[in-house]
A and B are shown apart, each in its own frame.
Chain A
Amino acid sequence: MMNLELAKKLLQKGIEIAQEMETTCSIALVDENGWLVALHRMKGAPSPTAEIARDKAWTAAVFRRPSSEVAAYGDPKASGSGLNTQNWNDRLTTIAGGIPIWDGDLMIGAIGACGATPEEDVSLCQKIIEGVRSK
């Protein structure tokens, strides 16, 4: 399960990686139900990035898949389409950069990053998760 200790470890790792990538960003960690556990905004990252990072992490946690894949639910050709913010809550986002964190079959939480391009945000998230797993 996501706890503050793990969240701090992931954030510390994340900020190191972001500095290596020469980018500034916000990183958010949420628990398995999408509730915020920890959020850090690096110096120089624009202020909205904090909320967007949290939105991405929330989306990844509640749908249990990367935030970029959630857009598929809104495909008019797919059954049950009609995904919009009114149906859910105002945190829903389909921007890439939110990734659930799995411990085997169990989802323990999710991470969201915002500040660079969506591709860089995704690779930052993946590096953070891998970096901590390998320890």
Chain B
Amino acid sequence: MNQLTLEQALKMLEAAERWARDIAEVPCSIAVVDKAGAIIAVHRMDGAAMATTDIAIEKAWTAVAFKMPTLMGSRWLDPRNIGKLLGDHAMGMIGRGKGRLCFIPGGIPITNEDNELIGAIGCSGVPSGVGDISDTSVSQAGVTALYE
């Protein structure tokens, strides 16, 4: 598996949407991007706020750009880190990437069997970014579906 196809992306979106609808019970937007950060598929569920599509795309893009979940990046930007070396350097991330960097939890990179990056999924719309019912868990539902 070297690159994601549209079919695989739709399979992930389907599972993530089902999770958001049945378990989180919150409408949200979900985006899948390829290993270059380019959009493969985006869905906005009925009732999800209109700004969530762009945020979902940005989360997925950031997950690819940094090869890590946006949850980790959000930890860098924690105000409690200010004054520490990590925190002070991470504040420089704000506004980078032509405004596309988004360190809100909910973007997860996707790797293949050889642990190579092949894309990412991002979700936005669930009120919390972290926890059992969150953007991250919606995205995780999508990632899980890919490997089934």
Chain A interfacial positions (CB closer than 8 Å to B): 3-5, 7-8, 15, 26, 31, 33, 35-43, 47-48, 50-51
Q: Which of B40-48, B63-71, B82-90, B135-143 is found at the contact surface with chain A?
A: B40-48
Contacts of B23 in A (CB 8 A): none
User: Closest chain A residue to B50 by CB distance?
Assistant: A35
Q: Which of B31-39, B72-80, B103-111, B123-131 is found at the contact surface with chain A?
A: B31-39
**Cβ–Cβ contact B43 & A4, under 8 A:** yes
Complex Cα–Cα for A47 and B39 (A)? 7
Chain B interface bracket (under 10, 10 to 19, 20 to 34, 35 or more): 10 to 19
Q: A33-B50, A42-B6 are in contact. Are A51 and B39 (CB under 8 A)?
A: yes
Q: A33-B50, A47-B34 are in contact. Are A39 and B39 (CB under 8 A)?
A: yes
Classify the secondary structure of B's interface with A. mixed
| Contact among B6, B36, B38, B43 for A38, CB-based, below 8 A | B43
Classify the secondary structure of A's interface with B. mixed
Contacts of A7 in B (CB 8 A): 43
Which 3 pairs of residues, A with B, have the shortest CB-CB distance? A47-B38, A35-B50, A50-B39
Complex Cα–Cα for A7 and B42 (A)? 11
Complex Cα–Cα for A33 and B49 (A)? 13
A-B contact pairs, 22 of them (CB 8 A): A3-B46, A4-B17, A4-B43, A4-B45, A8-B43, A15-B6, A31-B50, A36-B42, A36-B44, A36-B50, A37-B44, A39-B41, A39-B42, A40-B6, A40-B10, A40-B41, A41-B6, A43-B6, A47-B34, A50-B38, A50-B39, A50-B40
Complex Cα–Cα for A35 and B52 (A)? 10
Contacts of B42 in A (CB 8 A): 36, 38-39
Contacts of B40 in A (CB 8 A): 40-41, 50
Is B134 an interface position by the 8 A CB rule? no
User: Closest chain A residue to B40 by CB distance?
Assistant: A41
**Cβ–Cβ contact A36 & B6, under 8 A:** no
Contacts of A4 in B (CB 8 A): 17, 43-46
Complex Cα–Cα for A133 and B39 (A)? 28
